[in-house]
Structure 1
Amino acid sequence: MKRTSRGFLLLIGLALNGGPTFATDHLDRRIGETILYERISPRPGKSFVIRVNTFLPSGPGPFPLVILNHGIDPDGSRDRVRFQVPAREFVQRGYAVMVPQRRSFGGSEGPRDWSDCQPGAYTREAQREIHATLRLALARDDIDTRRILLVGHSVGGLVGLKTAEQDLPGVVGVVNMAGGFRWENCDWQTPLLEEMRQAAASRIPSLWVYAENDRMFPPELARQLFASYRQAGGSGRLRVLAAHPGDGHLFFPERSGLQAWWPEVEGFMRAVGLPTRKVRHIAETRRPGESGFAAIGDVDSVPFVEHEREAGGKDYRTFLEAAGQRAFALSEDGDAWGWSVSANPLDEALEYCNTNSSTPCRAYALDQQVVW
């Protein structure tokens, strides 16, 4: 969730190249973020434009490619998933990173494309977005499509494994981060085990990574899924990480999980012949410490300009109710603000605030602390 003092406008029209444009399309230029568009046609007479957040190192390339696949939220969230934390690690090592926003997510056109308790039907449809992403990559001179790594989180992990069944040219490895497909009020484990068994048809090596406290796919289930895959002939290795702070299912996109999963991925990349040496350092935004300016819940102390105090206070209260990694940014004159709950909340909150401010913005609150 994000807000600014100028309001929150989601969809504002179509870009000249045919893709939807968003008022909140803030891009991380430090890691070369752009947005590409590609059309998919799931059936005759039906076509949709999807958006692909793309991160590129500086220089001419060609760069090996990582495709990051996001999960789904059965509760209905369609937020854009950018995977900035993982993308930064790969870009620093000279990789292009592409993050397709599947149908109905993050501004991609099309209806919700999954069926309850039918992981096979969903993954078949979701592979269209990966193929569209590969078409975009093949059309570029700065991407080396002979060296591709598929990485997926949650449902995206299952989608990556199922895509690897096709032994696509150039794909040298697949990484399943907390992968699976879970639904309530039905037998979802039986079809999921079968999908993992079928994924073993791939000859591409895989790495499976889960956390000890994953609420969606706990270690016992992860081991069952991996056993189904291995017993059917799949080539892979399973790693269960120590408990991740908060929700273990989110260890991959969150910054706090990076030190746990990166060594596993780095070793796997070396094993499949992909480079891992850092070729560029991209500095993170400095995280300020607690300042003692006010208590986190003291809405009246937030220094909004007087004519924005009511609107700003309303947004700050909403921010306080949000769960997860969060940040609230405020302009120095108190006239603009922005907030975010995401894997990279500080950068996003500052971007939203600065977009609508004539004076610089800085962090007011991070997680449970006031840092102003």
Structure 2
Amino acid sequence: MFPAPARLRHFASAAILACGLVSSAQAQAVALPLDTRLNEEVIGVPAGTALNVKLETTLYKPNGTGPFPLLVINHGKSPGDPKAQSRDRFVYMAAQFVKRGYAVMVPMRTGFSRSTGTYTDYGCNMKANGYQQAGDIADVVAFARQQSWIDADHIVIAGQSYGGLASVALSTQDLPGVRGVMNFAGGLKVHGGSCDWQEALVNAFAEYGRKNRIETLWMYGANDSYFGPQLVNRLYAAFNGNGGRVNLVAYGPFKHDAHTMLGSRDGMPIWLPEVERFLQRIGMPTEQVYAVAEPVPQPATNFAALDDVAAVPFLPERGRQQYRAFLSKQTPRAFAVSSSGAWGWAEEGESVNERALAACQGASKQPCRLYTVDDYVVWTDGADPANNTAAGRTE
């Protein structure tokens, strides 16, 4: 099927963690609550030449037995060891699709997170990198089409960063039931070395355009720190000029870095209208048919003013310096503290409350509680810690 002999996620994480006495990697390893609003669960999907790899896959579904149309969302690659990468969830996008009656699958590809097998890196051979990762996506589609709760004729693929590159590579195949591919900030950047990774990426997109079989939607922002407008224009020209079917949406700047748009709470007004138009064009459902409860926000309190650094309990001076820095971060954001003197915070992306608590808890034997969420204080002096810790069940 794919020219690469075997089966990279390049994702500038929207999450920033900082905490007393614990590293970000340790904090990220803590299991986050599953989202019961979306019937979230984690399953194993067989993949690989002999289907001997199990892909750690997040599954969301509406209530009921289906069959449901399907969205498959594909992740990028964080720097470092793929095994140390956390399970991607794409909760904001998943929620919008579950409202529209879709099942949503987010597979961690071979060698990432808790997926088995060994990650393969072809370096500057971008064509092979894309095809390699696309193999796993094709296996997920094949598995999904065998499930009674999936509408095998209504499937759409999405990918962010390296997952976008993989999804565009997948569009070279005739896959039964797959009607469209959505590429959000797709590509792969090689750090170090002497190869011209941009030229290699353009050449890969040229080949994918020549072999394109499935209609695609691309979305890139003007201030993407990995794939700027000049490079995106080259990718588009290579793909479109070789016959690829593509609608490019250049949506301008987004916050500090458009590369994080899809994983941001504030990205939905940008991507959702374009996605709905694309779904209508390829014959996929767009009408909201299910209600999904909105997350219950932490209530604001009158404990202290947001910028009253001295009022934050328990913190040593270094922690107070961190809180001052936290006040300049963008929302969504959260800051957590513990009576042990530990702290943790998270900025942007998904599950910021839970990530801030996990960052703090990784450094503390005492319970951690949220102090600040977004632009208001949620701390109540003397309250039960359970009143403002993350709710939900864990994996």
Distance across 2 between alignment mates of 1:212 and 1:3: 28
- What is the identity, as a one-letter code, of the residue corresponding to 1:160? S
Q: 1:60 aligns with which of 65, 72, 75?
A: 65
Structure 1: gaps spanning 5 or more residues: 12-21
* Higher RCO by CA contacts (8 Å cutoff, separation 6 or greater): 2
- What is the identity, as a one-letter code, of the residue corresponding to 2:54? V
Identity of aligned residues (%): 33
Aligned to 1:102: 109
Deviations 1:87-143 (A, max 9, x none): 111111111110001233232223332232222222222123213322331232111
The 8 Å contact of residues 156 and 179 in structure 1, kept in 2 or not, is answered as yes
RMSD: 3.9
Tell me the TM-score normalised to structure 2 length. Answer: 0.75
Distance across 2 between alignment mates of 1:257 and 1:51: 26
| 1:348–1:227 CA distance, 2 compared to 1 (3 A) | same
1:259 is paired with a residue of what secondary structure?
A: helix
State which drifts further: 199-208 or 59-68. 199-208
Distance across 1 between alignment mates of 2:311 and 2:250: 44
Aligned to 2:266: 256
- What is the identity, as a one-letter code, of the residue corresponding to 1:240? A
Distance across 1 between alignment mates of 2:249 and 2:358: 37
Distance across 2 between alignment mates of 1:290 and 1:189: 50
Aligned to 2:390: none
Structure 2: gaps spanning 5 or more residues: 1-15, 380-395
Count of aligned positions? 351
1:168 is paired with a residue of what secondary structure?
A: coil
Deviations 1:147-178 (A, max 9, x none): 11010111111101111211200000011111
| 1:136–1:249 CA distance, 2 compared to 1 (3 A) | same
Deviations 1:302-354 (A, max 9, x none): 446xxxx78x969x87x9599775323569x999987545512345348859x
Aligned to 1:348: 354
Aligned to 1:328: 335
Distance across 2 between alignment mates of 1:122 and 1:47: 20
The 8 Å contact of residues 46 and 140 in structure 2, kept in 1 or not, is answered as no
Distance across 1 between alignment mates of 2:377 and 2:307: 5
The 8 Å contact of residues 101 and 108 in structure 1, kept in 2 or not, is answered as yes
- What is the identity, as a one-letter code, of the residue corresponding to 1:35? V
Shift of 1:195: 1.3
| 1:144–1:368 CA distance, 2 compared to 1 (3 A) | same
Bigger strand share: 1
Aligned to 2:297: 286
Distance across 1 between alignment mates of 2:149 and 2:308: 49
The 8 Å contact of residues 83 and 343 in structure 1, kept in 2 or not, is answered as no
Deviations 1:178-223 (A, max 9, x none): 1111113420112211111121212211111111111111112111
Aligned to 1:365: 372
Deviations 1:13-50 (A, max 9, x none): xxxxxxxxx861521111111111023335x7x94322
- What is the identity, as a one-letter code, of the residue corresponding to 2:277? G
Deviations 1:70-103 (A, max 9, x none): 1112344612211111111111111111000123
